[in-house]
Structure 1
Amino acid sequence: MTIKTRCLILLCTLAPTLLVAQFRKYSNEFLNIGAGARGLAMGSAQVASVSDGTAGYWNPAALVHVKDQAQVNIMHAEYFAGIGKYDFANVAIPLSDGKRTIGLSVLRFAVDDIPNTVFLVEPDGSINFDNITTFSSADYAFLFSYAQQLKMNSEDKKLNLGFNAKVIHRKAGDFATAWGFGFDAGVQYINKRLQLALMARDVTTTFNAWSYSINDKMREVFYVTQNDIPVKSTELTAPKLVAGGAYNFRLGKSVNLLAEANLDFTFDGRRNTVISSSVVSIDPKIGLEASVKNVFFVRAGINNFQKALEDEDSTYTKKVWIYQPSLGAGFRLQNVMVDYAFTNLANQSNPLYTHVFSLKLDLVRKNKKK
């Protein structure tokens, strides 16, 4: 194996990190996966109807629905039979006035035990498997949320505001490290069974600062193969706007049907979405949730609409619309809620359906004895 081949192996190993400084259009993509099996089962159409601790991710304004007692949410999902792992944890704490709530959310997306074969081949051309080491590539996000309910003239109408301050940490072994920060802001309006919301992600753009640690042997490989040696760099994530509306249809005394539609507006160039232009691209999402006595839930959703070449077209010119469906269910037992989703956490070009489970726990306060 030549030294050039060894370098190509290194580049493939570090690709997610080394390319991020060039392809900033899709930076911090792990923050677009979602949070909670309920939201993922509804096609990620959540900004208007979310009402639990996962609002710290979807729309911090909706955190005000967590009242009277603190709430804990956790979620776990895996890629490629456990090679990649995605986790979400959140705690929401209502303040004493009942109109304000604070929250902390933690997200982690990681691929562990990645083989590092840079030094697999010795200088004399022999292969030494003892030189293979492993490393992990992990992305972390910490979201500090605040939500407040504003006074309205009518009890049926509510206006909630909220924002996130987020800290991002990304790491690929000992090769690359990044720290970043940014802000989100959201608003939620409720009028009886109608809910409207607007969520601005990375409203001030999210800033990531990358630093690299490449030893002399690796630098030599890059130099001999005429590859650029990574240097300190910065990365900006463009703002995204999410607008949503939801309506709760009452089908009987104990059955409700909630329907929500979201529109994701991106401003970083043309994307493969339903509406696409150099100024703005719009990606719709639709979700449904049927509930019985607010105890049993069945959910479905559709998102990620894209144009793709038709498989049976030999001329490779005919395009058709494809989409990503999702399904899920849940049940409530007193102060415990368990949700399940079967959804694609990747993209249309690389579909990857997986099982997602999440747990919600309301921390009921004990009554003080007189």
Structure 2
Amino acid sequence: MKNYLVILLTLTSLATIAQTTRKYSNEFMNIGVDAASLGMSNAVVSHTADVNSGYWNPAGLVHIEDKQVALMHSSYFANIANYNYIAFAMPLDDRSAVGISLIRFGVDDILDTTQLIDDQGNINYDRISTFSTADYGLTFSYARKLPLDGLNFGVNAKIIRRIIGDFASSWGFGLDAGIQFETDNDWKFGLMARDITTTYNAWAIDEDKFEEISSAVDGQNQELPETTEITIPKLQFGVSKKWIFNYDYSLLAATNLIVRFEENNDIISTSFASINPALGFEFGYTDLVFLRGGVGNFQNELQIDNSESLTFQPNFGVGFKYKGIQIDYAFTDIGDQSAALYSNVFSLKIDFGIFR
């Protein structure tokens, strides 16, 4: 039974201890949405042009011609964690558009065994309860075409809500900004700046609950953690081009460079910034069926013998679109190819133009 307490203590402590120097807050907002995009290893910043642009690059929202809605579901870590996403977008006029999206990443039905043993040392299984830990990201997007032909911009306002049962909760707020540019010969460029103001999360921790957990196992007492964490800015630069063959066949090739202002295990890393590339492609037939693939998340991992090994994240996907309804599937690994944590991702997109 102590093992269960140790596990609960560890999980809750990791989730709630948020030091002011911590720079990896809100990582659930970096997983990605839309199976079509995930199948291309997220290399979509330059050409995203539908309701999902609110997440990838809000500048792409100006390309929608009618109201659109998108849904996505995926399970991670052997179905322990569930990731759900819903989005809606609509044009305001021929030069601007708005969107709203909601992401939930959570683990439900976690056993709370802190009350299992009473003050007299008696075990009562009826005292076991369950709780959930969930992260929510609500995003409001606005996009507009600029006077320069082919140049668009967009902005996001994000509200972050993180809940760990009755133990702790936090609120956060952040801003994103993005631009897209398309040349006369169909080359597309995109730049997305996430958390441009540095996103802060302020935690409220139930001290009584924290004391119950930290003292549940002998020798595991801890001081109340700090209550502020930050998400540092990140840049994503993308280039893409689409070719049409014999009227019926198309090939979209895209690449992204993800820039983080820190030193880590990315394939290119300095004390100032690190850069990680992503490559993706989409082969289409009559704009009806699609085959996608990509590779990204290149990491220099340190091995036991102090040597470095290059790992990467492969992705694969297929899609089907008929009139205004699009169904996509992606087979992806949110870690690296050695961890075998592959997940099946499904998404649906509906263009309300089909009802007109």
TM-score (norm 2): 0.92
Aligned to 1:203, the other structure's residue is in SS state coil
- CA deviations over 1:92-134 (Å, ceiling 9, x no partner): 0101x21100000100001000111223334444433222211
Matched letter for residue 88 of structure 1: Y
Matched letter for residue 11 of structure 2: T
2:139 pairs, out of 132, 137, 143, with 143
Alignment partner of 1:176 is 2:173: no
- CA deviations over 1:233-288 (Å, ceiling 9, x no partner): 22111000111100112233211111111011001x31111101111011111110
Give unmatched runs, 5+ long, in structure 2. Answer: none
**Farther-moved stretch of structure 1 (43-52 vs 20-29):** 20-29
Q: CA deviation at 1:47?
A: 0.4
Alignment partner of 1:189 is 2:173: no
Distance in 1 of aligned mates of 2:298 and 2:335: 13
Distance in 1 of aligned mates of 2:13 and 2:217: 18
Q: CA deviation at 1:365?
A: 7.3
Distance in 2 of aligned mates of 1:221 and 1:291: 58
Distance in 1 of aligned mates of 2:29 and 2:220: 34
Match of 1:90 in 2: 87
Match of 1:29 in 2: 27
Distance in 2 of aligned mates of 1:261 and 1:246: 6
Contact 1:327 1:341 in 2 (8 A): yes
Q: CA deviation at 1:20?
A: 3.3
Match of 1:319 in 2: 308
Alignment partner of 1:78 is 2:71: no
Q: CA deviation at 1:231?
A: 5.5
Alignment partner of 1:247 is 2:234: no
Matched letter for residue 104 of structure 1: I
Aligned to 1:247, the other structure's residue is in SS state strand
Aligned to 1:39, the other structure's residue is in SS state helix
Q: CA deviation at 1:222?
A: 7.5
Matched letter for residue 298 of structure 2: F
When residues 335 and 365 of structure 1 are mapped into structure 2, their CA distance, relative to the original with a 3 A threshold, is closer
Matched letter for residue 244 of structure 1: G
Matched letter for residue 322 of structure 2: L
Match of 1:329 in 2: 318
Alignment partner of 1:52 is 2:46: no
Matched letter for residue 117 of structure 1: T
Match of 1:117 in 2: 113
Q: How many residues align?
A: 354
When residues 83 and 274 of structure 1 are mapped into structure 2, their CA distance, relative to the original with a 3 A threshold, is same
Matched letter for residue 167 of structure 1: I
Matched letter for residue 343 of structure 2: T
Matched letter for residue 271 of structure 1: N
When residues 9 and 300 of structure 1 are mapped into structure 2, their CA distance, relative to the original with a 3 A threshold, is closer
Distance in 1 of aligned mates of 2:37 and 2:354: 27
Match of 1:62 in 2: 60
Distance in 2 of aligned mates of 1:284 and 1:247: 17
Match of 2:191 in 1: 198
Contact 1:209 1:233 in 2 (8 A): yes
Alignment partner of 1:258 is 2:258: no
Aligned to 1:364, the other structure's residue is in SS state helix
Distance in 2 of aligned mates of 1:352 and 1:6: 24
1:362 pairs, out of 345, 348, 351, with 351
2:201 pairs, out of 177, 187, 208, with 208
Contact 1:141 1:169 in 2 (8 A): yes
Match of 1:284 in 2: 277
TM-score (norm 1): 0.89
Match of 1:238 in 2: 232
Distance in 2 of aligned mates of 1:249 and 1:333: 21
Over the residues paired in the alignment, what is the CA RMSD in angstroms? 2.3
